[in-house]
Amino acid sequence: MANLKEIRGRITSISSTMQITSAMKMVSAAKLKKAQDAIVMLRPYSEKLQEIIQNVSASSDSENVSVFAQKREVKKVLIIAVTSNRGLAGAFNSSIVKELNHKISATPVEVEVLTIGKKVFDAVKKSRTVYDNQSAIFDHMSFEAVSKVSSKVMKAFKEGQFDEVYLIYNKFINAATQEVKTEQLLPIEMPENTGIVANSDYIFEPSRKEIIESLIPKSIKTQVYKAVLDSIASEHGARMTAMHKATDNAQALKNELVIFYNKARQAAITNEILEIVSGAEALKNS
C-alpha cells in the first residue's frame, strides 16, 4: 500500500493543478466574450460585401473580369493555415494540422504553406515548404496587420507565384463547438454572366469595373481577417472547454485519492491497534 505521505503529496499536487486549470478556464471565458462579439459584428459586413460583389459583377463583361477572379492552369498552390500560438486547447490546433496535411496530400501540384500561429508552424516547418510565417500577428492583432498579409498574398497571386490560394481555419460556432473550414480564397468565385441584369437598385459611380476592382481586394482582406477572428474565438472556446474538462477530471482523481488515503489511514490505524492488543496479550501471558 502506498505511503500516506506520498498520497498526501499527490492530493496537494492535484489541488494545485485544479487551481491553475480553473483560472485558465475563467481567463478564456472572459476573452471569449470579446472575441465572440468581434466575429459576430464582422460577419454581416463580410456577407453584405460578398452580396454587393455578386450583384455588381452579375452582368459585367466577362472580358473585364478582375485579375483576382481569373482562373488559370494550376501549377502551384498556397494554403494559409490558421492556428494559435499556445496549446492547452484540446484538438483545436491538431485538427488544423490534420486537415492541412490531408489537403496537401490531395493536391497533385506543388504546395507552399503560409502559417498564422506557432503551433501549425512548428508542426510543418520540417516537413513542408513554408512560404511565410506570420505568427507574430497575434501580438498586435488588428485589421491593418492582417491586411498586410492579405496584400502580400494577393501580390503573389497577381504575379503568378501561385495559381490558387486556400484558407484553413476553425470557424466559431459556439463555446463548445468549432468547425474546421477549408475555403478557396483565390481566384474568387464570380457569378456566371447569364445576360440577366441583377435585381438591384445600384447606380454606378464611378464605373462598374472600377467598383469591382476596389471591392474585391477589400473582400479578400475581410475574408482573411474574418478567418483569423473566427480562429481566435474558437481558440478561447476550445481552451475554456478543455480546461473545464481538465478541472472536472482533476476533481474526480482527487476524490479517488482522498478515498484511497482514508482507507490507507484506516488500515494503518487498525494495524497499530492490532499491534498494541497483541503486545498487551503477550505481556499478560508471559
User: Which pLDDT score is estimated for 194?
Assistant: 47
Residue 270 falls within a domain, yes or no? Answer: no
* Region 165-184 average pLDDT: 93
Give Cα separations from 179 to 17, 91, 221, 237 (angstroms). Answer: 29, 11, 21, 12
User: What is the spatial distance between Cα 113 and Cα 115, in angstroms, rounded to a whole number?
Assistant: 6
User: What is the spatial distance between Cα 5 and Cα 261, in angstroms, rounded to a whole number?
Assistant: 9
- Return the residue matching grid coordinates 454587393: 52
User: What is the spatial distance between Cα 181 and Cα 167, in angstroms, rounded to a whole number?
Assistant: 8
User: What is the spatial distance between Cα 111 and Cα 36, in angstroms, rounded to a whole number?
Assistant: 32
User: What is the spatial distance between Cα 272 and Cα 95, in angstroms, rounded to a whole number?
Assistant: 55
User: What is the spatial distance between Cα 225 and Cα 147, in angstroms, rounded to a whole number?
Assistant: 8
Residue 15 falls within a domain, yes or no? Answer: no
What CATH number does residue 134 fall under? 3.40.1380.10
Residue 81 falls within a domain, yes or no? Answer: yes
Q: Is the pLDDT of residue 203 over 50?
A: yes
CA angle 107, 125, 160 (to 5 degrees): 50
User: What is the spatial distance between Cα 249 and Cα 247, in angstroms, rounded to a whole number?
Assistant: 5
Residue 267 falls within a domain, yes or no? Answer: no
Query: How many structural domains does the chain have?
Result: 1
> Grid coordinates in use for 20?
491553475
Mean pLDDT, the chain, as a whole number? Answer: 87
Residue 87 falls within a domain, yes or no? Answer: yes
Length, in residues, of the chain:
286
Q: What pLDDT, in 10s, does the model give residues 62-103?
A: 555 678 888 889 999 999 999 999 988 989 999 999 999 999
Residue 223 falls within a domain, yes or no? Answer: yes
The pTM for the full model equals: 0.83
Residue 136 falls within a domain, yes or no? Answer: yes
* Region 214-221 average pLDDT: 89
- Closest Cα partner for 1 from 274, 272, 264, 273? 264
Residue 281 pLDDT class (50, 70, 90 cuts): confident
Residue 282 pLDDT class (50, 70, 90 cuts): confident
User: Which pLDDT score is estimated for 52?
Assistant: 79
Which of 25-29, 160-164, 254-258, 273-277 shows the lowest per-residue confidence on average (mean pLDDT)?
Answer: 273-277
User: Which pLDDT score is estimated for 196?
Assistant: 47
Buried b (16+ CB within 10 A) or exposed e, 242-273: bbbebbeebeeebeebeeebeebeeeeeeeee
Q: Is the pLDDT of residue 255 over 90?
A: yes
CA angle 26, 240, 137 (to 5 degrees): 95
User: What is the spatial distance between Cα 209 and Cα 187, in angstroms, rounded to a whole number?
Assistant: 17
* Region 34-49 average pLDDT: 90
What share of the chain in percent tops pLDDT 70?
90
- Closest Cα partner for 195 from 21, 7, 58, 52? 58
User: What is the spatial distance between Cα 231 and Cα 85, in angstroms, rounded to a whole number?
Assistant: 11
How many angstroms separate the first and last alpha carbons of the chain?
33
Query: Which range marks the domain in which residue 75 is found?
Result: 22-191+199-241
Residue 259 falls within a domain, yes or no? Answer: no
